[in-house]
Structure 1
Amino acid sequence: MRSNVRLSVIISLLLAVSALGAKPGWAAGGAEAFFRFPDMVDARLRPDGAGVAGVRMSAGSAAVVYSDLERDEERQLFDVTDYAGGESAIGPVVWIDNQYLAIQLHESVEGIAQLLETKVSSRLLIVDTLEKSADIYSVRTPGELVDPLPEEAGTLLYSKSGSVSKVYRLTVSKLTVDRKPLGKLDLVDGGQFVSDNELFSIEGYVHAWHLGQDSKSSMALRLNREEEALQLVHLHVEEGTPEVFESWPLDDSESEQKVIPVARAEGETEFYGVDVTDQERQTLYKIDYRADTQEEVYRTQAYRILDVLTSPNHELIGVKVVRDGAVSYEYVGQEADASPGEQSEQLRVVIDRSTHKGRALVYRERHNLPGRFMLVDDKGAVLQQVGEVAPVPSGLESARLEQATVTVEGLEIPYLLNLPSSLPTSEKSVPLVVLPHGGPEGLYDTPYYDPVAAYFVANGMAALRVNYRGSGGISSAHQQAGQGQWGRLMLEDIHRAVLEVKKRPDIDGRRVCLVGASYGAYAALSLAIQHGGDYQCVAAISGVYDLNLLVNSTDLNDTQREQLVELMGVSAQETDALMQLSPLYNLQDWSVPLFLAHGGEDRISDMEHSHRVNKLLEARGFSHEWYFDAHAGHSFIDPEQRRALYSDVYRFVHRQLEREAGSSN
């Protein structure tokens, strides 16, 4: 099994949801504890280990705070909305030294149509964390932070791009307070953009600089207009001629993959990159340009990867993504303490290390514990908690997680079963909610905190999540086994896991409900069509139900359509075969209670899929619940939208399973 595992600290996914009625006999917490805005979403340790800079969220707005670990004090340094307005955002905070903190501020401005990058203005802000007045300084010359040079107090490397792009060494003490008018004798940025401070220079517009470990060499991603190409170029301060490592022609080809470096990895010529020909940019690769190797290291369920988060040693920490227009952070960890065939039940990610005191900042998360930022010593002992994503919800303290596998057609299919802590005296078993994940290819469920699974568990239900063939995070062979199995063995994997779990004495096999979103919604409807007697209700959200409509969508480019066809095992021209795999055309004998939901602003699964199912069932006189939010996106990410949706989903599941229990008795 691959050791690469992930968790999602989704800034706008953990949303406040209204309180739902708990099943009698269970002391569950309110839904607000499970679906809420997170508190702390990112943190960075001061180089000497004496303080932590964190990013806290409040009603969707980010604020940078500083925690003095010696005095046990915290104060706010910077609020994005108060300082720059609601359309602004910040990049990861970076320590320059033990006094100054760098914040890259991105503000929305008027730009040129179709050129997204021109609609964002960026500037580097510097906050003095030792001054309680917290004056904010800035580099007024447009550009980007290249390296904070933490070993050189008060100094940083900064890039300025143009027809000739350069990197300069700047001194913080020469900068002026941001937004303060300059005097007649004042020079912009202290007059530091001069040849004496110049470190690197190269012809062409450089989009990104990646400094080498010795600060004497750098990789530059530059635009070469003469050759009409984007190039990865190596420079050294003692060598005059740059070396071109890779070149990508500037054409509109959609068929050829172009993995462009985004952040430096551990090796001198190793990088993390994304395929810019992939419109969704959900996959992160690790490339070694000298060895000419490339491997997939992470895939997100969000719309697009914006940036890569790495440690000072260039180890992968996480990614910054866009999900339904909102910025999210997803952390990536490396676990080595899991049993063979299992993932560790606790995610532990070293986010930052101090240069002194032997301290480290660690992120921890479990299936019954939302994320925690912990300060640990050089032996791993916890010194104190620095922040948390959310408090531990009531009803989860003693919840259990079991990992097991079921063999389907010779392939081991892993599954995760979240269970309540214990049964009430009046119950011998609990109902089961099956949560097939979306994707389907490359995405996967982890044994870490999942607010949907956790909410059902706290309300007295078991939650089953299956990493069917095609899922990522297991092995390349497991993912490859999903080719051609979209509506076939992927579904069989889920169903066989359900049958296995139903054998347990603590699971009530007469009360089983499918709840899925995206591909998970497709799987939920398909499984109920094929095995209606085994499932007592279905909740399907943002799903795809007509594969002819999906594969012939004008929103797909040729590469995406080809990948989809390979996954389905049916070509776009095989209309009858696609109809056989589509739930829409197989509802003749539908009898399972159904909750169907979709958002009008869904840009991933066309709402026409749900409209067709809804209208067909209405025409046949089948009574079902239809939920439509004209302003919701694929994930119903807005707090009010998600609150309304999941309130109704829970009530539906609870009502149907209680009704089934009554009829059985």
Structure 2
Amino acid sequence: MRTAFLLTVSAAVLALASLSAAHSQSPAPAAAPVPIEYFFDNPEFSSAALAPDARSLAVRFGGKGTRDRLAVVDLDKNAIKVVAQFQSADIGNFYWIDNERLVYDTNDKRLGPGARQFAPGLFAVNRDGSGFMQLIAVSDGPRDASRRTNTILRSDHYLVQQFGRQDSKSVYITNAKFGNGNNDEVEYINLMRLDTLTGRTEHVKRPGLVKGWTLDHKGEPRLATLVDKDIQTLMYRDPADGNWRKLASFNLYKDNENVFNPVAFGPDGTLYVSAWSSDDKSGLHTFDFATGRVSAQPVIKLADFDFSGSLVTSRDKLLGVRYLSDARATAWFGPDMKALQAKVDALLPSTVNLLDVAARAETPWVLVTSYSDVQPTTIALFNAETGKLNKVGDFHERIVASQMASQELVRYKTRDGMDIPAWLTIPKGGKRKDLPMVVLVHGGPHVRGGEWGWKSDVQFLASRGYAVLEPEFRGSKGYGERHFRAGWKQWGLAMQNDIADGTRWAIAQGIADPKRICIAGASYGGYATLMGLVNDPDLYKCGINWIGVTDINLLFTGHGSAIDDAGQTYKQYGMPVLIGDPKEDAARFKATSPLEQAARIKQPLLMAYGGVDQRVPHYHGRKFYDAVKPGNPDVELIVYDDEGHGWTQPKTRVDFWSRVEKFLDRHIGPSGTQSK
């Protein structure tokens, strides 16, 4: 009675070494470029997680021509068993919910969003492959309707990825209820407790139109987030009586005082939050339920970055805090974990090493995730008693660190005196002068753009001889409140100047050849690419825009798509604050519209869009192409029919970046012999 989408358990026992066997392949000769597929293929090994007792390790892995499978390694016996796989889908997310049981959903890495017909679903299985249970359907159509039982929920239910103590056979799931507006926005989200053995559910009482839920350290609902127009309200469920009460309310877009964002609950019930203080940068604080105030002194505070991170706990103890500065790191509170970190760092001195301890460890195994600017993520097991480190797998096993380019965080001054951080990657080989350069602009735009670490697109460009500059222009998050707010309503204006000033800084430093610079980016980065060609034709010889906004008004009023994932509430309350109001700022929108200025762009331009993109539909690209092409013969537009807002398929990534490689080589290539 099982379809191809249901579990089939393989009897084969795989050798653990096979998870990283490809790592032993001979690298490409140093003189030859690293093959493009090495950068953009899906990894064969892609995740690992320790069981709460640290006696088992779950891993997700695939192979050439095979689907991703879920296997469990018995660390006591050093034996591995495949416990879940699908004939027509990949294993997606997976999580331990106690020592014996895992839950997981599905994915299809071979298809783009436009070709996918199924939801992720949800399944459960024991670590030995027994106790299989389908909990949420992958489709509500006729394909599996005849086989559905009353315990299988409809496909519009989703797992809450918070598990607390990991000591229960139950999990929490959500189900969104949509309004009747044109965009079918979420009106509220229901929360249900789901028994993974029986499939039975129990609803949690909502304290209003809840848009988000937070579980505490024990895995129980403790916070509910309500949003009404532009006002966010946090409700707290008191463990003493189970009743909900209001903690705080604030404007999502305009408030900057007394605002805090929940991070997580500690084992003792303390709520940890991120909040801004008088010196501009946010830190990690505690929240006092009795006074309703955030602590004056932060638990963690960084000099140059806003706090972004999570708690690290074990049993009923807060061990430390994982945070992001230029790279990721952990602040340990006790001497034992500090000593453990030091031992691992001594074994792996060239990488960031993040330690994950099991919730209630009964063995000395610790999971280690390592990476650097030249080394993609690798996962290993460290034995705290023996001091031995055993590799589990590499995310990009064919990448050789010695062939990759180094990355650094630099800062430069803008024309109006602001300090702008930027990520600079220099091609391998030592030369740091008069390089062809790609100015790579991040999307968002009101997000943090990057961090220190290996990135496929940047390393690919560097492997082809290009320096890469990634500015964290004003309006980017993560660098303080002033830096963030300075970018409000500055699309095409000060934000654009920051990018140009970074380009001129690289020229002044002697890094970039002023005659061989191309600007590129996706989403907002695509918009900035087009505006860069308009505003600074002296700087940029060419441009590459993928999935980029071509007119601000199109974000508000119409984009040629029946579905728009921005949402009317965000358009009504968020976008006018961050970007501008279509009526009040009509003149500015027109002056900073690439579509309106299309005739001014004469430089070579490569554009690409996703055929099912609901964020920036390909209508943006088509209208712009029709406007720019009559006056610019060197413009190309590609539409990947099944892709959305970004490239999910390896074949798309390889095709797109192959086109980028040829385009750049023609116009600013490292040889310096371009005819244009």
Q: TM bucket by the smaller chain?
A: 0.5 to 0.7
Deviation at 1:375, TM superposition (A): 2.3
Q: In the alignment, residue 367 of structure 2 is paired with which amino acid?
A: L
Distance 1:60 1:333, change over 3 A: farther
Q: In the alignment, residue 491 of structure 2 is paired with which amino acid?
A: W
1:586 is matched with: 597
2:124 is matched with: 124
Distance in 1 (alpha carbons) for counterparts of 2:659 and 2:262: 44
Distance in 2 (alpha carbons) for counterparts of 1:121 and 1:587: 45
Alignment of 1:30-179 (within 5 A): 30-57=35-62, 61-69=67-75, 73-79=79-85, 81-82=86-87, 86=89, 91-94=93-96, 96-97=98-99, 100-105=100-105, 122-128=122-128, 134-138=129-133, 156=169
Q: In the alignment, residue 101 of structure 2 is paired with which amino acid?
A: L
Q: In the alignment, residue 400 of structure 1 is paired with which amino acid?
A: S
From 446, 465, 469, the equivalent of 1:464 is 469
Distance 1:255 1:604, change over 3 A: same
1:438 paired with 2:439, answer no
Distance 1:380 1:486, change over 3 A: farther
Deviation at 1:311, TM superposition (A): 5.7
Distance in 2 (alpha carbons) for counterparts of 1:566 and 1:166: 35
From 595, 615, 629, the equivalent of 1:618 is 629
Q: In the alignment, residue 29 of structure 1 is paired with which amino acid?
A: V
1:474 is matched with: 479
2:426 is matched with: 419
- Give a deviation string over 1:625-659, Cα, whole Å, max 9, x none: 22223332121322322222221122111121139
Distance in 2 (alpha carbons) for counterparts of 1:655 and 1:505: 23
* 8 Å CA contact 2:547, 2:609 repeated in 1: yes
Distance 1:242 1:272, change over 3 A: same
Deviation at 1:564, TM superposition (A): 2.3
* 8 Å CA contact 1:233, 1:242 repeated in 2: yes
- Give a deviation string over 1:158-179, Cα, whole Å, max 9, x none: 68999xx9989x9x9xx7xxxx
Alignment of 1:482-501 (within 5 A): 482-501=487-506
From 522, 531, 536, the equivalent of 1:531 is 536
* 8 Å CA contact 1:231, 1:248 repeated in 2: yes
Deviation at 1:488, TM superposition (A): 1.2
From 522, 526, 531, the equivalent of 1:521 is 526
Q: In the alignment, residue 598 of structure 2 is paired with which amino acid?
A: L
Q: Output the TM-score relative to the length of structure 2.
A: 0.66
Distance 1:476 1:214, change over 3 A: same
Deviation at 1:436, TM superposition (A): 0.5
Structure 1, unpaired ranges of 5+:
1-21, 109-117, 129-133, 176-187, 194-199, 224-228, 274-284, 296-307, 319-331, 338-343
- Give a deviation string over 1:445-478, Cα, whole Å, max 9, x none: 1121110000011122211111111112222222
Distance in 2 (alpha carbons) for counterparts of 1:34 and 1:493: 30
Distance in 2 (alpha carbons) for counterparts of 1:119 and 1:36: 23
1:559 paired with 2:561, answer no
SS in 1 for 2:127: strand
1:268 is matched with: 269
Q: In the alignment, residue 369 of structure 1 is paired with which amino acid?
A: Q
- Give a deviation string over 1:318-374, Cα, whole Å, max 9, x none: 9xxxxxxxxxxxxx944569xxxxxx9954433333624544212222221111112
Deviation at 1:411, TM superposition (A): 1.8
Q: In the alignment, residue 576 of structure 2 is paired with which amino acid?
A: V
SS in 2 for 1:449: coil
Distance in 2 (alpha carbons) for counterparts of 1:60 and 1:566: 48
Distance 1:289 1:507, change over 3 A: same
SS in 1 for 2:469: strand
Distance 1:205 1:521, change over 3 A: closer
Distance in 2 (alpha carbons) for counterparts of 1:220 and 1:567: 27
Deviation at 1:96, TM superposition (A): 2.4
* 8 Å CA contact 2:69, 2:82 repeated in 1: yes
Q: In the alignment, residue 667 of structure 2 is paired with which amino acid?
A: Q
Whose relative contact order is higher, 1 or 2, with alpha carbons under 8 Å and at least 6 apart? 1
Q: In the alignment, residue 102 of structure 1 is paired with which amino acid?
A: L
Distance in 2 (alpha carbons) for counterparts of 1:231 and 1:659: 57
Distance in 2 (alpha carbons) for counterparts of 1:161 and 1:496: 46
Deviation at 1:45, TM superposition (A): 2.0
Deviation at 1:538, TM superposition (A): 0.7
Distance 1:417 1:576, change over 3 A: same
Distance in 1 (alpha carbons) for counterparts of 2:247 and 2:541: 56
Q: In the alignment, residue 490 of structure 2 is paired with which amino acid?
A: Q
1:301 is matched with: none
- Give a deviation string over 1:185-232, Cα, whole Å, max 9, x none: xxx79xxx9xxxxxx9998489999776579x8748799xxxxx9975
Distance in 2 (alpha carbons) for counterparts of 1:511 and 1:149: 55
Q: In the alignment, residue 445 of structure 1 is paired with which amino acid?
A: G
Distance 1:47 1:453, change over 3 A: same
Distance 1:62 1:267, change over 3 A: farther
Distance in 2 (alpha carbons) for counterparts of 1:569 and 1:32: 41
Distance 1:591 1:245, change over 3 A: same
* 8 Å CA contact 1:346, 1:448 repeated in 2: no
2:417 is matched with: 410
- Give a deviation string over 1:252-299, Cα, whole Å, max 9, x none: x999999998975566153799xxxxxxxxxxx99958365689xxxx
Distance 1:528 1:499, change over 3 A: same
1:8 is matched with: none
Deviation at 1:119, TM superposition (A): 7.6
Alignment of 1:342-381 (within 5 A): 347-353=352-358, 355-378=361-384
Distance 1:600 1:572, change over 3 A: farther
Distance in 2 (alpha carbons) for counterparts of 1:660 and 1:616: 33
Deviation at 1:68, TM superposition (A): 4.3
Deviation at 1:543, TM superposition (A): 0.9
Distance 1:551 1:539, change over 3 A: same
Distance in 2 (alpha carbons) for counterparts of 1:380 and 1:477: 49
State the superposition RMSD in angstroms: 5.0
1:597 paired with 2:608, answer yes
Q: In the alignment, residue 603 of structure 1 is paired with which amino acid?
A: Q
Q: In the alignment, residue 101 of structure 1 is paired with which amino acid?
A: R
* 8 Å CA contact 2:436, 2:669 repeated in 1: no
Structure 2, unpaired ranges of 5+:
1-27, 109-117, 136-150, 154-158, 176-190, 227-232, 275-283, 296-309, 333-348
SS in 2 for 1:588: helix
Alignment of 1:571-582 (within 5 A): 571-582=582-593
2:395 is matched with: 389
- Give a deviation string over 1:13-58, Cα, whole Å, max 9, x none: xxxxxxxxx9x99532101110011233332224454542222255
Deviation at 1:376, TM superposition (A): 3.1
SS in 1 for 2:669: helix
From 219, 230, 233, the equivalent of 2:237 is 233
* 8 Å CA contact 2:599, 2:628 repeated in 1: no
Deviation at 1:405, TM superposition (A): 0.4
User: Structure 1 stretch 411-420 or stretch 41-50: which is displaced more?
Assistant: 41-50
1:242 is matched with: 242
